[in-house]
Amino acid sequence: MKKRKLGKSDLEVSAIGLGCMGMSFSYGPPKNKQEMISLLGAAVERGITFFDTAEVYGPFTNEELVGEALAPFREQVVIATKFGFDLSGTDKRPGAAGLNSQPEYIKKVVEGSRKRLRVETIDLLYQHRVDPGVPIEEVAGPVKELIQQGKVKHFGLSEAGVQTIRRAHAVQPLTALQSEYSLWTRTPEKEVIPTLEELGIGFVPYSPLGKGFLTGKMNENTTFDSSDFRSTLPRFTPEALKANQALIDLLGSIAERKKATPAQIALAWLLAQKPWIVPIPGTTKLNRLDENIGAVGIELTPEDLREIDSAASKITVQGARYPEKLEQMTGR
């Protein structure tokens, strides 16, 4: 497995990471725990060293799963987790009680995450969503203290806007930004990616396969269980799925030529954008894990990339990424 460094930091990880959320949360009922522990072990054996979780996934159960599964490999792996959703109330759904990045709450969350992940030090700690009620300097400051105390190694933000990135970075240098980025979500290209390049911050795209859409396995007849959060997303209505099929046709034609799959081309395209981009596709299946890893070996030539860009620029993606309430939490 090839390695990449996140920005100018010394944090080196596998070129593709593994998003663990779907093992416990969001994509239908939680998966079998023992099967997921085996899958996480298989990922390490195949050279994946970068694993992504969060307190809110479950909540709590995904961190516990990742902690248990990766305990035997602690020295080989980098585990990222996140704080920022308020889980102090009775309704534990993400966003149900809004956000909380108060300094005392951050410290409390970190203690819980360290325990669940079975680690002394959290490798990479992200603010999950920017809290408009707390100036970012009052978030970066406490994280800086946690780094000085040896409880956290690296600081990151998720779905933050460029001004927030600059202000946070001035207090405690950021190692990574995690935001959605793929061939059907290209918003970061305008302002965010140039800012990250300027400041030397790595980029970790989540949903690099468009929450499964870019695998080419969905069409307008695809239905989602009520426990699958895609059932609430505007981009996954039958009309949007049908309209966005043009992207799959594009990926499919290039995949055929490269003897690859649409998912592999979508990941290879991301890897080709910058050497400090590390996508974290999630999966709960071993064959998909192997397919995603295969993307690292696919070389897209400048001509291939120009062809993809030219064709993609003629496709207008239909449907918002999130319902309005969740969309408002991005780009702050």
Q: Is 126 a catalytic residue?
A: no
Residue 95 neighbours by CB under 8 Å, 6+ apart: 85, 325, 326, 329
- Assigned token pair, 299: 């070389």
Q: What residues does each domain of the chain span?
A: 3-209+273-298
Q: What is the dihedral of CA 127, 133, 136, 140, to 10 degrees?
A: -60
Q: Which two tokens stand for residue 83?
A: 């704080």
CB 224 within 8 A of CB 231: yes
- What is the per-residue pLDDT for 93? 60
| Closest of 32, 83, 73, 84 to residue 50, by C-alpha | 73
- Sole residue written with tokens 């799963």: 65
Distance from C-alpha of 7 to C-alpha of 202, rounded to nearest angstrom: 4
CB 220 within 8 A of CB 237: no
CB–CB of 19/52 below 8 Å?
yes
- Give, for 153, the enclosing helix (H) or strand (E): strand 152-158
CA distance linking residue 241 with residue 232, whole number of Å: 13
Of the listed ranges 84-98, 107-121, 306-320, the least confidently predicted one is 84-98
Given a cut of 90, is residue 98 above it in pLDDT?
no
* Percentage of residues in the chain having pLDDT higher than 70: 98
Q: Phi and psi of 17, rounded to 5°? A: -100, -170
pLDDT (0 to 100) of residue 92: 63
When the pLDDT of each residue in the chain is averaged and rounded to a whole number, the result is 95
pLDDT at 89: 75
Contact 199, 174 (CB under 8 A): yes
pLDDT in tens, 149-159: 999 999 999 99
CA-to-CA distance for 192 and 163, rounded, in angstroms? 10
- Using one digit for the tens of pLDDT, what is the confidence trace for 205-239? 999 999 999 999 999 999 999 889 999 999 999 99
Q: Place 272 in a pLDDT band, splitting at 50, 70 and 90.
A: very high
- Whole-angstrom distance, CA of residue 102 vs CA of residue 135: 9
* Tokens, residue 209: 């396969």
Predicted pLDDT at 28: 86
Closest by CA position to 217, among listed 205, 226, 209, 207: 209
Residue among 27, 57, 105, 206 flagged as catalytic:
57
Q: pLDDT-derived band of residue 88, with 50, 70 and 90 as boundaries?
A: confident
Query: Residue 151 has what pLDDT?
Result: 98
Task: Round to whole Å and give the CA distance between 27 and 89.
Answer: 23
Neighbours of 233 (CB within 10 A): 18
3-209+273-298 homologous superfamily? NADP-dependent oxidoreductase domain (3.20.20.100)
State whether residue 170 is helix, strand or coil.
helix
Segment 168-211, tens digit of pLDDT: 999 999 999 999 999 999 999 999 999 999 999 999 999 999 99
4 SS3 class = strand
Mean pLDDT for 24-42 is 95
Distances in Å between the Cα of 246 and the Cα atoms of 201, 220, 316 are: 33, 12, 9
